[in-house]
Amino acid sequence: MASAVFLLLGLTWAAPEKPQDVKLRGELVCLAEEMQRLHGVQIPPVHEHLQGVRAEDGRLFTLLKTSTSAFLFSDARFRGRSLVLTGRTFPPTGLLEVTRADWIRDGKVYEVYYWCEVCSIKTVDPGPCACCQGPVELRERAEGGGPEIRIPPAGGDGRNQHGENDKSR
């Protein structure tokens, strides 16, 4: 009966499009500021940031805050970096669910994760550790292997674990 009503009114119901798997390069942006830059939208000087991603091809996505992406909202070390984001989009919404985030430094892709030294646990949660409740630290490792490098906290002295200047900041 309900489908007959929709047909009489000229309306049809279609199943939602399936989520699309994506892997894209881009950077974190405030979507309100992007709309101001691109289209002259007037936003107040002090405003709530609408977290999003600007892909290299110019597409904009609203970042969906989930357990696998919450760190992108809270850890300032991901801002201003070229990122490789893996996840799903939900047509036609423009929402992006991130399931993995890597970054690019000096032309190389680095896996980025939080590490608990005590429990030897790798996670996407900036802490505390799910096991011991101790602190975790952000680390990177070049895709394909290589040494694991500690990333200093935001506002740190800019030196890596070897005491060298960290040029990735």
Q: How many domains does the chain have?
A: 1
pLDDT in tens, 119-158: 999 999 998 999 999 999 999 999 988 899 999 998 754 4
Residue 88 domain-assigned (yes or no): yes
156: in domain = no
pLDDT of residue 15: 73
Residue 159 placed within a domain:
no
Can you give the pTM of this predicted structure? 0.79
In a domain, 134, yes or no: yes
Query: pLDDT tens digit string along 45-100?
Result: 999 999 999 999 999 999 999 999 999 999 999 999 999 999 999 988 999 999 99
Residue 146, in any domain of the structure: yes
Q: What is the pLDDT averaged over residues 13-35? A: 92
The residue range of the domain holding 41 is 17-150
Over residues 101-117, the mean pLDDT reads 96
Grouping H, G, I as helix, E, B as strand and the rest as coil, residue 141 is strand
Q: How confident is the model at residue 43 (pLDDT cuts 50, 70, 90)?
A: very high
HEC secondary structure over 23-81: EEEEEEEEHHHHHHHHHCCCCCCCCCCCEEEEECCCCEEEECCCCCCHHHHHCHHHCCC
